[in-house]
Amino acid sequence: MKNQITIASIQMYCFREKKKNLEAMEECLQNIKNSFSDVKLVVFPELALQGAQSDLNNLSVKIPGQATDVFSLLAKKHQIWIIPGSIYERSGNEVFNTTPIFSPNGDYVGKYRKRYPWRPNEKTTPGNKPFVFSLDGLGKVGIMICYDLWFPEVARDLVNQGAELIIVPTMTTTGDRPQEKIIARATAITQQCYLVSCNGVGYGGVGGSLIVDPEGGVLQESGEGPSIQTAIVDFERVRAVRAKGIAGVTNPIRDFKENTQLREAAKRFAVNHLDYKPEEIDDDDLDLVISIASEWFTEQTGLTYDVTSADAAYDNAVMYYSCYLGSIAQNGMGIEQLRIGDIFIQYVDDEPYQKYLELANEAIVAKQALSIKTSTYNANTSTGDVDWKKNIDGSDSTLNVRQTPRGM
């Protein structure tokens, strides 16, 4: 039928040997082709190919690359979408836990990097971007990996980019899988979408995979052994539930989008809105940013930061922390340039906001090293500089602060 697709979630036994895992994955795909010919998309558990290993440097590979070409060939061979769980990906000096996606034509569609590694056990670098792709025009699919599910902001980011089906390759080997299954159902309800939580068994997890519909109904649920789950994903049902509400009455996505209070929260904390993409932070928003940065400054130093004018330049710490907030917002809102006061932030790499946070903390450390007891300052609006007059053990000191961040 129109706007429907049959999917399969493979709860497979995962070994610590890549060769055995790949053979098991190939066998599952062949079995699906022979027995479940209507299936057009297959999902495997997190790290189904490699298993959870400690030697990330030797296991990690380039994505896309020679190590992932096998899934391109398998997707084309079986004319099926393949989401092969996740794979340790090397990028420069960093290792990510990454899910690649392959189309029925064998094309590499893109990849998602796990945003919340399970600390302290998981040593991979966190990703920082949501990933959503179109499924042959039928609907949109978003990817999360395992522990990402425990953070509702990750799912919200996907839905705000149009996701109607969320796929979560998982490797939960611990006793909190019952709670995780509850979170899976709750996520499907609050995001009004289908959700697939595909766990492994053996070294790959404790099983308990499930497929959930947009109102939280469980379509498939597995026990502790290997299994193949199948279900029909009806994208029109997602659209109907989002239009009419869960049980015809409750519509969290619509209400989130329309709530003006949450719009302010989106500006401040970079929660994506469906159609909210401002190119700059205006004077009212700037006051909010400075207010948040000032609260952070006070928490870190015990000093009161008193900005008396919207034109006042910032102390280094507050300035950089404001840029940190703005950079997160810029990334979340998907815009190329953002203005905060007189500062323009232009993206030049994947995580500039981390740089600003580091600069802000460096400024705090420098300030604490001065053993500051009191502080007053005057803004020179013509130059954009601020003269800080410090009372340090009874003597005055002046520190000139630039309004242009380092490294920009």
Least confidently predicted of 172-181, 190-199, 285-294: 285-294
- Rounded to an integer, the average pLDDT of 107-135 is 93
Whether the full predicted model's pTM is greater than 0.75, yes or no, is no
pLDDT above 90 covers a percentage of the chain that reads 54
Least confidently predicted of 59-68, 211-220, 241-250, 303-312: 303-312
Q: Between 391 and 312, name the one with better pLDDT.
A: 312
Residue 285 confidence class, pLDDT cut points 50, 70, 90: low
* The pLDDT of residue 356: 67
* The pLDDT of residue 369: 52
Residue 161 confidence class, pLDDT cut points 50, 70, 90: confident
Least confidently predicted of 57-66, 178-187, 355-364, 381-390: 381-390
Q: Between 354 and 276, name the one with better pLDDT.
A: 354
- Boundaries of every domain in the chain: 4-257, 262-401
Least confidently predicted of 20-29, 201-210, 351-360: 351-360
Paired tokens of 306: 């008193």
Is beta strand 81-83 parallel, antiparallel or unpaired with respect to 39-43? parallel
Angle ∠(122,175,125) on CA atoms, nearest 5: 10
- Rounded to an integer, the average pLDDT of 25-49 is 96
* The pLDDT of residue 145: 98
CA proximity to 163, closest of 112, 206, 126, 128: 112
* The pLDDT of residue 396: 36
CA proximity to 103, closest of 132, 128, 78, 129: 78
Flag whether pLDDT at 306 surpasses 80. no
Q: What are phi and psi of 61, to 5 degrees?
A: -135, 170
Flag whether pLDDT at 379 surpasses 80. no
pLDDT above 70 covers a percentage of the chain that reads 66
Flag whether pLDDT at 312 surpasses 60. no
Residue 71 confidence class, pLDDT cut points 50, 70, 90: very high
Contact, 117 vs 97, CB < 8 A?
A: yes
Contact, 102 vs 8, CB < 8 A?
A: no
CATH H-level, domain 4-257: superfamily: Carbon-nitrogen hydrolase (3.60.110.10)
